[in-house]
Amino acid sequence: MMKLVKQYKVLWFLLLMFLGTLTISKCSYRGDDERRSAQYYYRGRPMFSRAFSSSLLSNKVASSIVLPVFGNVYPRGFYYVLMHIGEPPRPYFLDPDTGSDLTWLQCDAPCVHCTRAPHPLYKPSNDLIHSRDPLCAAVQPEYYKLESPEQCDYEVEYADGGSSLGVLLKDSVSFNLTDGHRSSPRVAIGCGYDQIPGPSHHPLDGVLGLGKGKISIVSQLSDQGVTRNVVGHCLSGQGGGYMFFGDNIYDSSRLDWTPMSRQHSKHYSPGFAELMYARKTTEVENLFVVFDSGSSYTYFASQAYHALISLMTRDLYKTSLKDAIDDDTLPVCWKGKRPFKSVRDVRKYFKPLALSFEDGGRSAPQFDIPPENYLIISVKGSVCLGILNGTEVGLQNYNIIGDISMQDKVVVYDNEKDRIGWAPAHCDKIPKGKAVT
């Protein structure tokens, strides 16, 4: 992607006039920092805050932030949240992504290449982050020791081939807290002036990075004492839902918890799991699992995927369901004698799945995936499998739990205690109290 930087050198001087002296450098998130993991309907990655009164600061970590979520897995193909950024605050639709760290907006700096978006391009602040700032090291570690301190440039690439090139700066993000106060911390975000959309691109204003890194908005809010270093979401199977920062939105005693993997600390991963089918072992083990809200669908590595297809084919052989070869909504679809209207119409034909994790040799709670959490009904009335072959799209041996399999569950990524929790929930009801019901 270095070619892109050189190609637009003239346009960089326009950016120079607007934002200040230029330092040409590049960082690419690959491997552990890749976000987009789908080809089909992918949605799918010490701050200075405003002055608070001492009494408000003392209550900060006891409060939380709740944001409504819009969209669905199908037919829209993605979820998004509304954020208010800048001074004065302006609305933007962002892709909430636990699979990446950097929050960025399509930016009029001016824009070299921006995609269609629901709102006018973000007008950047002039509060540039210098290349020696620790936050710059989080997006371009290989360039962190550069001598030129004027600004911090970034390039983030995603697994579907999409990318964003831009500059890091600080701006205000406005939130309503659950304690009744309003907060507008200044956080580091990316001013993305050159976007290359991947094949699964969706028309949003940018990405809300919810990962574990220092540049993640989750970490920044925690560093400033606004909320604890906890993020979670509850995605409704009927569409919509909510996400939250902080730990007083749910009752932790009602969630199933499993530790995050210490060997794969860049991901929200419980480590390795065994695939269960119809509540029985499949003998498909050692599946490395990652929770990723940036993927609309779930992905299994080739071995697990083909084992699942084989089991389903065996069970569906004597039913009235037939391969829907004329329906290309997803790679595997079936049709009945008449079009289906909902997953309830076909639930009897499909078995529940689960991922069984290990906790130091002890059996940890299972992550259940009922038929509603791995099937969709297409516009043609077919039932389609929302679990795809991740190896075919370049995910190697990663097994991605995407939005479809997290629907109607509250899922919590607790970075304070390095654990992931989940429980069934009514995600169409945005909580106003302390516990999810």
Closest alpha carbon to 419 in 354, 353, 357, 355: 357
**C-alpha to C-alpha distance for 212 and 267, rounded to whole angstroms:** 7
Q: Are 163 and 36 in contact (CB under 8 A)?
A: no
Describe the chain by its helix, strand, coil percentages, rounded to 5.
Answer: 20, 35, 45
Q: Are 276 and 366 in contact (CB under 8 A)?
A: yes
Closest alpha carbon to 417 in 257, 220, 211, 209: 257
**C-alpha to C-alpha distance for 148 and 267, rounded to whole angstroms:** 31
> Does residue 108 sit in helix, strand or coil?
coil
Q: Are 166 and 109 in contact (CB under 8 A)?
A: yes
Amino acid at 325: I
**C-alpha to C-alpha distance for 343 and 189, rounded to whole angstroms:** 40
**C-alpha to C-alpha distance for 222 and 245, rounded to whole angstroms:** 9
Query: H helices within 149-263, ranges in order?
Result: 217-223
Query: H helices within 245-330, ranges in order?
Result: 302-316
Q: Which distant-in-sequence residues (6+ apart) come within 8 Å of 72 by Cβ?
A: 79, 238, 239, 240
Could you give the C-alpha distances from 105 to 6, 30, 153, 319, 387, in angstroms and in order? 22, 20, 14, 49, 30
Torsion of Cα atoms, 406 then 412 then 413 then 415, to 10°: 180
- Which of the residues are catalytic? 97, 292
How many residues are listed for the chain in this entry? Answer: 437
Closest alpha carbon to 286 in 256, 313, 309, 263: 263
Q: Which distant-in-sequence residues (6+ apart) come within 8 Å of 188 by Cβ?
A: 47, 103, 129, 135, 168, 169, 170, 215, 220
**C-alpha to C-alpha distance for 187 and 289, rounded to whole angstroms:** 30
